[in-house]
Amino acid sequence: MRLANSHTVMGIVILSILLLIWQFLPPALGIPRFIIPTVTDMLTELGRMYRRENLIANTVSTAWYTLLGFAIGSALGAMIGYLLGFSQFWERVLSPYILALQIAPKVAFAPLFIMWFGYNAIPKLLVTVLIVFFPVLVNVLAAMKTVDRDMVNLARAYSMTRWEIFLKVEFPSTLPNLMAGLRIASTLAVIGVTVGELVGGNTGLGFLISYGGGQANAAMVFNAIVLLTLIGIVLYSVLAWAEERLLHYIPKKDH
């Protein structure tokens, strides 16, 4: 408890120092506010965005599609990862195509999705799903390859069904990798939604970034970036909390 409190105090101290530097260093260096706004400039602009730019609605929209895209992409990635893990034949057949899609820059699909589906929420959702899908798939598939085959054979010796082997042997064994993939995907989900909103959105924080950039309003852009970061931190923290509860049996390293 004492160590956790010291970490919290040190984090607050570092954050306070960074905010003070942000507040006073740019004016001291003569940097214009439209290039790097101060903290007070950002707070003032945040109030204006709340009154004039539908800040709450745009933030909720981005958070919702981040969560939705993350959920769909993670579910598909985990499901296909497990299915390919069951069959070495299909994994070898489909691996080149999966690799090609993984290498392809996912953000480049955003204009294509806009051409297909128009300027609505579908393109940013699809980009998010596509970005989230691969880290989960790769982590699950890699974990399935490392499952202890002796445990699987022992389960078969006890006449367990394929489904029982998965639930009692393979899934618990791959859960750490699955949670690691989900944590990685949670940070990428924010990027996917933002790209979709930047390219062709009319709502969300990405849209505010695009709009603020067009108006040379750096404070608006910085505020939207901070809010996007907070959304990602919240999602990541929830997954880290869930991982700690689910994997409580794994011993932790002492520091």
Q: What is the pLDDT of residue 224?
A: 94
CA max distance for the chain: 76
% of the chain at pLDDT higher than 90: 34
CB 190 within 8 A of CB 46: no
Q: What is the mean pLDDT of residues 21-26?
A: 87
Q: Cα separations (Å) of 36 from 22, 25, 165?
A: 9, 10, 57
Q: What is the pLDDT of residues 97-112, one digit of tens each?
A: 888 877 888 888 888 8
As to burial, measured by CB atoms within 10 angstroms (0-12 exposed, 13-18 middle, 19+ buried), residue 122 is middle
More confident residue, 127 or 87: 127
The domain locations on the chain are 1-31, 35-246
Q: Which residues contact 251 (CB under 8 A, 6 or more apart)?
A: none
What's the pTM value of the predicted model, to 2 decimals?
0.86
Q: Tell me which fold the domain 35-246 belongs to.
A: MetI-like fold (1.10.3720)
Q: What is the pLDDT of residues 161-188, one digit of tens each?
A: 888 888 888 888 889 899 999 999 999 9
CB 41 within 8 A of CB 33: yes
165 closest CA partner among 179, 185, 144, 186? 144
State CA 194 to chain mean position distance. 11
Rounded to 5°, the CA angle 249-167-154 comes to: 90
| DSSP string covering the chain | -HHHHHHHHHHHHHHHHHHHHHHHHHHHTT--TTTS--HHHHHHHHHHHHHHS-HHHHHHHHHHHHHHHHHHHHHHHHHHHHHHHH-HHHHHHHHHHHHHHHHS-GGGHHHHHHHHH-SSHHHHHHHHHHHHHHHHHHHHHHHHHTS-HHHHHHHHHTT--HHHHIIIIIHHHHHHHHHHHHHHHHHHHHHHHHHHHHHH-SSSHHHHHHHHHHTT-HHHHHHHHHHHHHHHHHHHHHHHHHHHHHTTTSPPPP-
pLDDT greater than 90 at residue 144? no
Q: What is the mean pLDDT of residues 35-53?
A: 90
Q: What is the pLDDT of residue 29?
A: 86
Q: What is the pLDDT of residue 200?
A: 75
In the block, tokens 């003032």 appear at 44
